[in-house]
A and B are shown apart, each in its own frame.
Chain A
């Protein structure tokens, strides 16, 4: 093949490829191929063969091309011929699915049209299959006037050209198929309830089915996607925010996204009440995966949605009940929920008063206020409107025309003024069977309830029953609570619960005050325990644990230490709530603040001690005073008489009888004074007769305690050094205490002038031989007269300004009455030391010996 020939063939291929690509259908494409091949490669005739519908025979196609009219004869023969697979040139190509070449048709055995070809002078021929996949969809054949050997190159070119045809043919078949599918789709789309919208890449609608038109209005009018939300009334589930155009499911599918179950609210001219739709979208792609557009299917879910909202509404009313919202609010929400379920429906709830005889307003947000006011407080009865009668009869009362129904005789005017015609009322009955109120439905048209309205009534009365019942229980609880709280507050009672598992605790308001917690502080078992006084905390905790474990209850009296150091006395009582395994779930109890009582007790005790102290101290004082008075009388008389005698003598006219008398008086008064002193001793001796066995160490400690306030107020310190082996003594407790008191008070007096640090008194006991108990009171004061320290025991001797000089006299009397001795000496460094020795009680000596 020359290079020119080659170029021509290439040129042919290029031309045909371009022209076929531009051809609209298989007919014109075939014509192009036949003409161009004949023109460019000098074939005299070209024609096409197509299989019949049954694909059993090849028939001559409508298009053919030839170099001159002289070939019309062969064309006619061809048109009349039909070839089964394998027969003739077309049949052969059809069967083999491969090109076939005949050098000279006149000499070919399998060429039925040989006679016609001979007559027309056609010699060489070639048949080329046009394949679509594996199927031969056409065969084209070409003839030449001269015989020729197979030209492979030419066959290749023509085959390549045929392959171009294949594309066109395929397109034609596909189009036919598509139109069939379209028909089916169209019928589905028209009849289906779901809206289907298909858009191409530019957002132009390809499909907008009748359901879509019902939902969105006319879709045929094209507009930019940005306008869709407004144009078609598309909103987010909040029902007011326009759906963002970019986020529209159709736009997302067009962009190539898969979109599933998007909920959208639609409200437009077509659906003025609005509807809910759930949308699924898919992108549309070509055979090579390129994006062609998108499709969405929109299902109307308004019914589901309404049911869902209704249920949510019920749930929210039940939540309000659970949250103990005011009954009026709960019932109003319930009524509004019910009214929302049906156009033109108005509802009301009436409550039955606790007297069981009158109605009270419950909720009627859509009824005129005047009507509501008129009904409030009306009695119930057998002919008292729908509600009063329903409550009275405990059964549903349906009045379809209030203007004629006898039950409404008394209320007709009210209803008329409000434009109400029908009123159906159902009693609300508690779980215990008590009538709580009624739920009524009103309509402006005269009719009875529809089934769905009966269903609403059932739900409404059920929920209202729960709400009213609960509120009544709450009221009762609140009243009881208030009473308990009142009692608790006035009794200073704290209520508390401990939850050891969760380590949380609850405490009443009063309790928080008692325990010193902030009103909103979070409480735990530990935080409550932490308020127990540190000295008692461990004890209280272990008592609590063991008491709860063993008895399931607990009682303890202890102190609390509050922040800022305040101390409270409390009694805590609790009992445990256990689960089936015996584990403590909760401990509930009360704490009583007994601080005031405790304070009073302590005060009382202090007063008692103070009193005892005063008594003891003043006994001595009184004894002293009384003795002083007793002595003062004779002393005064003595002084007066002596003075009178002197005066008479000074005047020099004294009557001897008078003088006698004066002297006699002097003698008897002196004697009398002596008797007074004697009297002290005998008094002491008389009291000593009531004797008990005494532990002097204990008596000392008790006595020091009695004067502790005096010691503190005088900035003094009394220390004791007590011999535990000290033998007991027999004695009158009060008198021995008097002795000790007197010695201590004297020592305190003696320390008065010292620096506070030196105001020390040491009381010590010891027993040298076991038969004598020795008590020493030592001070660091001025000490005793150097010459005769024991002068202090003389009557009327006093180193003190105010002292009468009787104290130590009495002390000595007491000690001596007990068979003991008392001595006074100056201590080595300074101060005085008074030593009292008392004989050990009988039996003590033996005991001491036995111990030794």
Chain B
């Protein structure tokens, strides 16, 4: 892993804490600089003040949808690469997310290798 990869921050956003933690463990095991958020507002506040290289976000969350978060993130930090993970195959969600431009789209449960490759790709 390059130093650049280590330095760049990967943020995770999911209101399901166990999923959030599991993703964090997975990326930590691969040596990424990971910061996890279960609250979208907290993440957006963080992103407003810090450089976020990659965001991995769920689509369906209690307070606000991931798509909305993406729209707002686009305004704050247009350079942040986005990876969407969703529990539900939803063509509308996929279409909208695609329009906003994530670099990858995963349906839970996903294959760990592909997921890690996607995060790595986003940091490159």
Contacts and interface: CB of A to CB of B under 8 A. Distances in A.
B50 interface: no
A672 B22 contact: no
B108 A633 contact: yes
Given A639-B112, A647-B30, A633 B16 contact: yes
Given A632-B108, A632-B109, A635-B109, A665 B21 contact: yes
Interface in A637-672: 637-641, 643-645, 647-648, 651, 658, 661-662, 665, 668-669, 672
Interface residues of B, number: 19
A629 interface: yes
Interface in A470-508: none
A629 B21 contact: no
Contacts of B30: 647
Nearest to B60: A629
Interface string A422-433: 000000000000
A644 B26 contact: yes
A525 interface: no
A672 B112 contact: no
Nearest to B16: A633
B26 A636 contact: no
A637 B26 CA distance: 10
A640 B16 CA distance: 13
B29 interface: yes
Nearest to A629: B87
A634 B30 CA distance: 21
A668 B18 contact: yes
A634 B25 CA distance: 15
B90 to A, nearest CB: 9
Contacts of B85: 636
Contacts of B23: 640
A627 to B, nearest CB: 11
A650 to B, nearest CB: 9
B112 A640 contact: yes
A251 B16 CA distance: 133
A625 interface: yes
B119 to A, nearest CB: 12
Contact of B88 (A629, A639, A662): A629
Nearest to B112: A643
A636 B108 contact: yes
Nearest to B30: A647
Given A632-B109, A643-B26, A637 B87 contact: no
Contacts, number: 71
Contact of A651 (B29, B60, B110, B112): B29
* Interface size range of chain A in the complex: 20 to 34
B64 interface: no
A662 B25 contact: yes
Given A639-B112, A640-B112, A633 B19 contact: yes
Contacts of B26: 640-641, 643-644, 647
Interface string A159-193: 00000000000000000000000000000000000
B28 A625 contact: no
Contacts of B109: 632, 635-636, 639
Interface string B51-71: 000000000100000000000
Contacts of A639: 22, 109-110, 112
Contact of A640 (B25, B60, B87, B88): B25
A685 B16 CA distance: 27
A658 B21 CA distance: 12
Interface in B108-124: 108-110, 112
Interface centre among B28, B29, B109 (most CB of A within 10 A): B29
B29 A638 contact: no
A637 B29 contact: no
Interface of A: 625, 628-629, 632-641, 643-645, 647-648, 651, 658, 661-662, 665, 668-669, 672
Interface of B: 16, 18-19, 21-23, 25-26, 28-30, 60, 85, 87-88, 108-110, 112
Given A639-B109, A641-B25, 15 more contacts: A628-B88, A629-B60, A629-B87, A633-B16, A634-B18, A635-B108, A636-B19, A636-B85, A637-B16, A640-B26, A641-B21, A641-B26, A644-B22, A647-B30, A669-B18
19 contacts: A628-B87, A628-B88, A632-B109, A633-B16, A633-B19, A633-B87, A633-B108, A635-B108, A635-B109, A637-B18, A637-B19, A637-B22, A639-B22, A639-B109, A640-B112, A641-B22, A643-B112, A644-B22, A665-B21
Closest 7 CB pairs of A and B: A640-B22, A644-B25, A647-B29, A643-B112, A637-B22, A636-B108, A636-B109
